[in-house]
Structure 1
Amino acid sequence: MNTQHEFKFLQYPRKNFVRNNWSNLNGRWRFLFDDEEVYTHPSQISQWPLEIEVPFAPECPASGIGDTGFHNRCWYQRTFQYSKNSKRVLLHFGAVDYQAKVWLNSHFLGSHEGGHTPFCFDITDILSESGEQILSVCADDDPLDLTKPRGKQDWQKDPHSIWYPRTTGIWQTVWFEEVSEIHIAKIRLAPQLERWEVGCEVFVEGPCFNGLQLKIKLSCEGKVLANDTYEVVHKEVHRRIALSDPGIDDYRNELLWSPEKPTLIQVHLELWKGETLLDSVYSYTALRSVAFSGDRFLLNGRPYYLRMVLDQGYWPETFLTPPNSEALRHDIELVKAAGFNGVRKHQKIEDPDFFYWADHLGLVVWEEMPSAYRFTHDSVERIVKEWAEVIDRDLGHPSIILWVPFNESWGVPDLAEKESHQHCVQALYHLTKTFDPTRPCIGNDGWESTATDLLGIHDYDDQPERLIKKYGSNHNIADILTRYRPGGRVLTVEGYPHGGQPIMITEFGGIAFVDRKGSDTWGYSAVQSSRELRNKYEKLMEAIHRIEIFCGFCYTQFTDTFQEANGLFRADRTPKFSLNSMARATRGAGYSRGELTSTPQPPPLPAPDTEI
């Protein structure tokens, strides 16, 4: 595979479902704001006053526009060249905030609602015979609507407190790919560690022909683990692929995934009709299990202490969109260098490349649904629909160990008093467990727990001795949960007492420090120097490590984010004090200096033209 081919292959936007023949539609598009909602069809637009760099939102500087005002509607248009052939063509959008309508060559393709999830259209029959294709997108995104999942996007004109600039329209990659008329539409790979198996579900799209065969090859570090062929029945294959159990722990551990040794199993699928290869897809999975038992989190059946940091996933020039895939990799390397083994992605559904790097570099991740801020029929409907799409998109990533549908009762503001709000959280908790029975779920993180596998506590008390006094071993858990109200909220809702779930402090710290004059700063507490920040962080971490009831922690936060200046790193990803000092404090008494340099290099993706 030549260098140019390899580069294109590695840039594929969906790295756990990779094909060869695809084209990127990012770049310069025509653009206009339509605040008065004058236009309903792209043919009505005769002039395009602006250009925008897709996939960056018009609010951010990298888009070339940088307009952070209120805009209800915007339009995009670009041309691209494609000559029709015997292949089907699928047009993909990574994410468009919030409601998208799409046209190709003035033909309406369809719409999608939900600002954080992908969607796709088969454009084969709409493609122009001339070769020049005109793609148009209308994005509606009411900046004042609090009933849609919006996460940290502010409803005030200027960012305030812990909310940030808005993201309107296209903010993830737009691309298309060629497939055969009969092709693999979806795969689900699920490790079953207790049985030493990999669950495999494959769904086929297209005319239902008899005689279709699916070849599945699993390999790890050059060794073939399984190489099987199955008949496709009713466009589906459902199999549990048993692996040879090594027996001895030392050999078993070589195949297990963890942040310390993120071993991945490469998966190659081929769809055949007789001697004709119809489709070829590359993916990967991992053998690992996650659970809570007693008062501890278990990774691969063993207690594992979670050292996590809250990650907002914003950049100064590009906002919610990462500058590039390497920026995501760099973030994960910084998190690991600072001594953490996980992140809680806060109020954001991250770009799929983030999970690719987390899988390959070794980082556990909590995925959290961006909140709405009103409780209405529409808001609940929107959350349920989009959350189901999130889980479906990211189910196969071994790095994801836990789901969080709600945070701090946002969107369910009367959770402690109203049964309807309690039922909503319980419904999302059970729906999540239905879609994915292999991972734990926190129904509402921070306080006011009604349905959860882990009781998460948000407490920004900046006095280490007070934290020890609150949560130390001199109290039993029942006393702790009834006596203290961090944030003024009860930790468990009346009628839903603690059921023995493990406890974790899932937000704390939030120490603000900025050494640049004239900067607006916000934080839960403040320091005046880098030395003071280091000292305060070390003392807080020492206290947290001493509290035995916690099965881990999540510190607020990874980087400064706009006016919220309580990151361990500045917004440009430079550390505010020594990384070595940071890592020693994060790891606690068990710190080993050698672990700082143990970040593994991800294996290259397989060549797309390799046959089974």
Structure 2
Amino acid sequence: MKLSTSFNALALASRALAAHIPRQSNDTGYSVQEPPLTTPWTYEVGTDPWPEYPRPLFQRPQWQSLNGIWRHQNYSSIQAVNSPPVGQTLQNAVMVPSCLESGLSGLQGEYMFYNWYSTSFTVPQSWTGDRVLLNFGAVDYEATVVVNGQEAGFNRGGYHAFSLDITELLTSGTNELLVFAHDPTDSDPFVIPIGKQTLRPSHIFYRPCSGIWQSVWIESAPANYVTELNLNADMDGKVSGAISTSTNTSTSVEMIFTLRGGSGGASTHGASTGDFSFTVESPALWSLDSPNLYDIEITVGQDKFKSYTGFRTVSRGVIDGIERPLLNGEFVFLFGTLDQGYWPDGLYVPPNYEAMVYDLKTLKQIGYNGLRKHIKVETDLFYKACDEMGLFLIQDMPSLRPLQERTLADCTVETIEPNAAQQAEFQRQLELLIQQHRNYPSILIWVIYNEGWGQITEPYYPEFALTDIVEGLDPSRLVIATSGWYDHGAGDFSDNHHYANPQCGSPFYSIQSSPYDPSRIGIQGEFGGIGQNTTIEHLWNVQEAINAINQTYEIDETRDAWNYRAHRLLGELEDQVEMYACSGGIWTQTTDVEGEVNGMLTYDRRVLRPDLAQWNADINALYDAAAARSNSSMRLL
């Protein structure tokens, strides 16, 4: 296999350096714990991780990162939450943010159900008189926050951000921050959104991620500050949305739009808090080929912050009798990878920003124009990178406890499904996913259920009501109600999963997928998945994972054979684009993960499998075939 010179030079240089970097250690007692597999960035993390501003769509000028080395102690009972260790030195040094089960955390623990964290901070004197907000990107799964011995707030849900006004709890000197994280993962009796996390890793289900796994920071805000910004900009220049504030009083709003990297003046628009709508004349549109973004300076009363947006419209249309996804009124063939966002050293957490965007740049180089973010939610910086690079995103809701059964007292076996309260909590967290991510231009499609995982499959079929809720919260995007398997007709897509061969918008299907429904858009939500084993240097060195490698859908013994098989499968997909109603496909997957060896990259990101010339040609053939089907009459819906 031949790789491009530029890719090899970059990859080999960074990996050669990484191989000789010693393990991080300092007087805090923290050090990286050797994971079962490293990446080129494992020992480059240092003690000031993720220094970038964590929330690029809502960036206040005065902020302070609390990331770094905290103290941590694991407890044996949920009752530990009732006894905050105020003024105590906890047992271990821990990296924040990180997964407690990861090597980067400094712990690499197991069964991290009940955890106290502690750190301290000082508020800058220049913030005197302002409100001080404490922000968490995500804590898995429940977080109880204590500031200077007093409870500041509670949050449930491992994939969304939350903010607390801690002004009244602060002192003029050093402040103590304690966080209790409770993460049951898939222990009984919990049925919660966990994606692919499990306490019992096995092939396609992986080591869990507990605790504070996204950035923590404080920031200064005026007495009446913005609590939520909802903003959508379409291809006609219409900007609409809503702004909420802490006091819910009507306040003047000024927005200044400036094309990033462009010439010419800025466009200024006034509004007030609550719902707003106005038009920017002749905007440069955001697309996959030209991801134009507009930086926005927003002033709401005394609150000033920065954001950005992209002008684009996502819709459905009928072309020659076939339902198609449209971006800015044109059929765009969506071809990406199943992107699970796992790292051998950090699990849910990439070692740093460079590592995170390395995956995205690699996908662009291979020829993909997007990815399906598979039952995981990323940091805001990930979505920003996709916005800037022109990569589309299909964003999954993390699944409830998937594909598990329990044995009852009478020895009968039942499939674990959510009860009414658990289903209501799933809906609440789905709504938060939409509300917190609907401003990112790169997200084109929401996914509610994957392959029946946590899905109630008897009538009443909850995906119909959930689709209505998603469309109500965000009418600017399309919805895949069920990706694969139990499809009862909800949503915008007829989504087929089949390994290894595609069955995309075609007159043939297999028992695990529903037949193509011509009243909706045909997409191959997962296919490929062919694997190629590698040497132990590039494998997740856990025996149970190695034993599971042969569960991969297909194993090809050499990289040449792997590329040959990929060429044939991509050719089949091209046929289905030309002959039938295929509008997009998702190849499994971006990287290997634990016992899966079917990635574009190995799990350590050190080996790239695709023959780039071949893959570029095959993927371009898909785009060309789709373009040939889009030059006919079109009717918008």
Say yes or no: does 1:190 pair with 2:222. no
Structure 2 matches for 1:218-297, cutoff 5 A? 218-220=257-259, 221-230=262-271, 232=272, 236-245=273-282, 255-272=284-301, 278-294=302-318, 295-297=323-325
Give the deviation of 1:529 after TM superposition: 0.9
What amino acid is the match of 1:359?
A: D
Residues 370-419 of structure 1, C-alpha deviations (whole Å, 9 max, x = no match): 11132212321221111111111101000000000110111125x1xx10
Partner of 1:554: 586
Local SS of the residue matching 1:62? coil
Which of 7, 10, 14 matches 2:55? 14
What amino acid is the match of 2:56?
A: K
Partner of 1:201: 242
Give the deviation of 1:447 after TM superposition: 2.5
What amino acid is the match of 1:419?
A: P
Local SS of the residue matching 1:14? coil
Partner of 2:614: 581
Calculate the TM-score normalised by the size of structure 1: 0.83
Say yes or no: does 1:214 pair with 2:253. yes
Give the deviation of 1:38 after TM superposition: 4.8
Partner of 2:554: 525
Please give the alpha-carbon distance, in whole angstroms, between the structure 2 residues aligned to 1:151 and 1:115. Answer: 10
Give the deviation of 1:332 after TM superposition: 1.4
Partner of 1:335: 363
The alpha-carbon distance between structure 1 residues 36 and 44, as it changes in their structure 2 partners (threshold 3 A), is farther
Say yes or no: does 1:542 pair with 2:571. yes
The alpha-carbon distance between structure 1 residues 148 and 9, as it changes in their structure 2 partners (threshold 3 A), is closer
The alpha-carbon distance between structure 1 residues 383 and 89, as it changes in their structure 2 partners (threshold 3 A), is same
User: Is the contact made by 1:328 and 1:353 (CA closer than 8 Å) also made in structure 2?
Assistant: no
Aligned pairs, number: 537
Please give the alpha-carbon distance, in whole angstroms, between the structure 1 residues aligned to 2:400 and 2:300. Answer: 42
The alpha-carbon distance between structure 1 residues 459 and 49, as it changes in their structure 2 partners (threshold 3 A), is same
Partner of 2:602: 570
Say yes or no: does 1:33 pair with 2:57. no
User: Is the contact made by 1:541 and 1:588 (CA closer than 8 Å) also made in structure 2?
Assistant: no
Which of 328, 353, 369 matches 2:381? 353
Residues 453-508 of structure 1, C-alpha deviations (whole Å, 9 max, x = no match): 0111000035xxxx5xx668xxxx6x54xxx3343x5448xxxxx36112111100
Which of 337, 352, 358 matches 1:324? 352
Moved more, 8-17 or 528-537: 8-17
Partner of 1:604: none
Local SS of the residue matching 1:390? helix
Give the deviation of 1:577 after TM superposition: 3.3
Structure 2 matches for 1:427-438, cutoff 5 A? 427-438=465-476
The alpha-carbon distance between structure 1 residues 571 and 244, as it changes in their structure 2 partners (threshold 3 A), is same
User: Is the contact made by 1:58 and 1:168 (CA closer than 8 Å) also made in structure 2?
Assistant: yes
Please give the alpha-carbon distance, in whole angstroms, between the structure 2 residues aligned to 1:589 and 1:425. Answer: 31
Which of 446, 466, 482 matches 2:484? 446
Say yes or no: does 1:53 pair with 2:92. no
Give the deviation of 1:9 after TM superposition: 12
Which of 357, 368, 384 matches 2:396? 368
Which of 123, 145, 149 matches 1:106? 149
Residues 542-574 of structure 1, C-alpha deviations (whole Å, 9 max, x = no match): 110110321111100110011111111111223
Partner of 2:195: 151
Partner of 1:311: 339
Structure 2 unmatched runs, 5+:
1-47, 402-416, 540-545, 626-637
Please give the alpha-carbon distance, in whole angstroms, between the structure 1 residues aligned to 2:216 and 2:52. Answer: 12
Local SS of the residue matching 1:42? coil
Residues 201-220 of structure 1, C-alpha deviations (whole Å, 9 max, x = no match): 22233484x8x532211121
Local SS of the residue matching 1:320? coil
Say yes or no: does 1:393 pair with 2:436. yes
User: Is the contact made by 2:86 and 2:149 (CA closer than 8 Å) also made in structure 1?
Assistant: no
Please give the alpha-carbon distance, in whole angstroms, between the structure 2 residues aligned to 1:107 and 1:21. Answer: 25
Local SS of the residue matching 2:104? helix
User: Is the contact made by 1:74 and 1:169 (CA closer than 8 Å) also made in structure 2?
Assistant: yes
Give percent identity, aligned residues only: 28
User: Is the contact made by 2:309 and 2:440 (CA closer than 8 Å) also made in structure 1?
Assistant: yes
User: Is the contact made by 2:523 and 2:582 (CA closer than 8 Å) also made in structure 1?
Assistant: yes
Residues 161-217 of structure 1, C-alpha deviations (whole Å, 9 max, x = no match): 200001111100011100111223322211232x43111422233484x8x532211
The alpha-carbon distance between structure 1 residues 237 and 589, as it changes in their structure 2 partners (threshold 3 A), is closer
Please give the alpha-carbon distance, in whole angstroms, between the structure 2 residues aligned to 1:213 and 1:461. Answer: 56
User: Is the contact made by 1:97 and 1:141 (CA closer than 8 Å) also made in structure 2?
Assistant: yes
Please give the alpha-carbon distance, in whole angstroms, between the structure 2 residues aligned to 1:219 and 1:351. Answer: 25
User: Is the contact made by 1:459 and 1:486 (CA closer than 8 Å) also made in structure 2?
Assistant: no
Please give the alpha-carbon distance, in whole angstroms, between the structure 1 residues aligned to 2:588 and 2:518. Answer: 27
Give the deviation of 1:576 after TM superposition: 1.4
Partner of 1:507: 526
Please give the alpha-carbon distance, in whole angstroms, between the structure 1 residues aligned to 2:463 and 2:49. Answer: 43
Give the deviation of 1:515 after TM superposition: 1.8
The alpha-carbon distance between structure 1 residues 331 and 269, as it changes in their structure 2 partners (threshold 3 A), is same
Local SS of the residue matching 1:327? helix
User: Is the contact made by 2:100 and 2:112 (CA closer than 8 Å) also made in structure 1?
Assistant: no
User: Is the contact made by 1:77 and 1:136 (CA closer than 8 Å) also made in structure 2?
Assistant: yes
Give the deviation of 1:329 after TM superposition: 2.0
Please give the alpha-carbon distance, in whole angstroms, between the structure 2 residues aligned to 1:243 and 1:37. Answer: 53
Please give the alpha-carbon distance, in whole angstroms, between the structure 1 residues aligned to 2:521 and 2:528. Answer: 21
User: Is the contact made by 1:74 and 1:138 (CA closer than 8 Å) also made in structure 2?
Assistant: yes
Residues 301-333 of structure 1, C-alpha deviations (whole Å, 9 max, x = no match): 011111111100011100101222222222211
Residues 128-167 of structure 1, C-alpha deviations (whole Å, 9 max, x = no match): 13x11000010111131451000000132xx102000011
User: Over aligned residues, Cα RMSD in angstroms?
Assistant: 2.3
Local SS of the residue matching 1:588? helix
Structure 1 unmatched runs, 5+:
1-6, 246-251, 273-277, 493-497, 593-612
Please give the alpha-carbon distance, in whole angstroms, between the structure 2 residues aligned to 1:589 and 1:389. Answer: 35
Please give the alpha-carbon distance, in whole angstroms, between the structure 1 residues aligned to 2:532 and 2:166. Answer: 51
Partner of 1:122: 165
Say yes or no: does 1:138 pair with 2:180. yes
Give the deviation of 1:436 after TM superposition: 0.6
The alpha-carbon distance between structure 1 residues 204 and 8, as it changes in their structure 2 partners (threshold 3 A), is farther
